Structure 1
Amino acid sequence: MIKLFKIKDQKKDDAGNANGRPVGKKQSAGELRLHKDISELNLPKTTTISFPNGKDDLMNFEVVVRPDEGYYLGGMFVFSFQVSPSYPYEPPKVKCKTKVYHPNIDLEGNVCLNILREDWKPVLNINTVIYGLNHLFMDPNDEDPLNHDAAAVLRSNPKLFESNVRRAMSGGYVGQIYFPRCCV
């Protein structure tokens, strides 16, 4: 009788290995939904996605945005995404890894995008977030800022704001803050 259970367990192990997954590791609902979202991505031409930890770690990935118009034309901005197992019931955690002079991105990389906070709904997906990030570069929002200084300059003097963005993207100081080069 004991041998029968060992044979059953061995068959389960073999079946798990045949699927290419580690034995006993079930995907969470969040992983399954994320897999679906990623397979259905329709990225804007200005955006790429990569998986630095390999395709086995879909829950952590990077998105690169290269705006082709607006203040940030020619820049390259890297965002890290951390997706929780309770996705889509909670939004992904998104951080900008590129230091940028932007009203909606602070100097620590926190992103102010309503769909990543109070307006998140489970019907939204990774594609929606990526389009939202692209929109931030096309049309920065000075009414809901994380970087209040940048927002104030955008509001009061758009030409100076543009000059500050260019200086920051080229690798220079805006006020007392140094921004590494992010132009391509």
Structure 2
Amino acid sequence: MINLIRLKDKQKESAETRAGRVGFAKKQTAGELRVHKDMSELNLPKTCKITFPNGKDDLMHFEISIRPDERYYRGGNFRFSFKISPVYPYEPPKVKCKTKVYHPNIDLEGNVCLNILREDWKPVLNINTIVYGLSHLFTGPNHEDPLNHDASDVLRDDPKLFQANVREAMAGGHVGKTYFARCM
């Protein structure tokens, strides 16, 4: 009987040693599982591209590039970083615009005003929904819910001047006292 207990202890010890050497994968959080599902169902518009700066093993941090093909922002390239919380989808991803842009719904620090990233977030929404929402910001900027009040006022009062300011900013120039790097 004592030999049987010793044998079981040795087997257990051996299994633990192998597990340490082989490096069994850590248990995934609910957020990681959901992001994995969202990524497998991702259907990006043709104007969008996804990259993984930390490698494809880190699905909780990624970037989306949007290249609008119509309206004011046509020809620009705008990058957004996504940071997903372990409690996703119960809270929305943190999304920042990494490209400085003259836009009524994106401030100069990269904060994005998109209702589904704030008060209208629901766990049934997914990454695809957010990407389409971001893409829509470039085809239909909204002056009624601004983060950049100057851009919003110009869009509301003088759409032709707004378009000229967007072109100037995207080409790498100044709008007022603010410099924008080229993003075309």
Q: TM-score over 0.5 for the alignment?
A: yes
What are the equivalent positions in structure 2 for 1:31-70 lying under 5 Å apart? Answer: 31-70=32-71
CA distance in 2, matches of 1:174, 1:24: 50
Q: Match of 1:118, as an amino acid? A: E
Q: CA deviation at 1:11?
A: 5.5
Matched, 1:91 2:98: no
CA distance in 2, matches of 1:109, 1:11: 47
CA distance in 1, matches of 2:25, 2:70: 48
Post-superposition CA distance 1:106-153 (Å, at most 9, x none): 000000000000000000000000000000000000000000000000
CA distance in 2, matches of 1:7, 1:81: 41
CA distance in 2, matches of 1:96, 1:24: 32
Q: Match of 1:94, as an amino acid? A: V
Matched, 1:116 2:123: no
Q: CA deviation at 1:4?
A: 2.8
Among all aligned residue pairs of Structure 1 and Structure 2, give the percentage whose two residues are the same amino acid. Answer: 70
Q: CA deviation at 1:3?
A: 1.2
TM-score w.r.t. length of structure 2: 0.93
TM-score w.r.t. length of structure 1: 0.93
For this pair of structures, how many residues does the alignment match?
177
What are the equivalent positions in structure 2 for 1:1-150 lying under 5 Å apart? Answer: 1=6, 2-10=9-17, 12-13=19-20, 17=22, 22-23=23-24, 25-150=26-151
CA distance in 2, matches of 1:93, 1:165: 25
Q: CA deviation at 1:5?
A: 1.9
Post-superposition CA distance 1:71-122 (Å, at most 9, x none): 0000000000000100000000000000000000000000000000000000
Q: CA deviation at 1:42?
A: 0.5
Q: Match of 1:137, as an amino acid? A: F
CA distance in 2, matches of 1:81, 1:24: 24
Unpaired stretches in structure 2, ≥5 consecutive residues: 1-5
The CA RMSD over aligned residues, in Å, is 1.2
Q: CA deviation at 1:55?
A: 1.0
CA distance in 2, matches of 1:103, 1:24: 44
SS in 2 for 1:8: helix
Post-superposition CA distance 1:37-85 (Å, at most 9, x none): 0011000000000101001111000000000001000000000000010
CA distance in 1, matches of 2:34, 2:20: 25
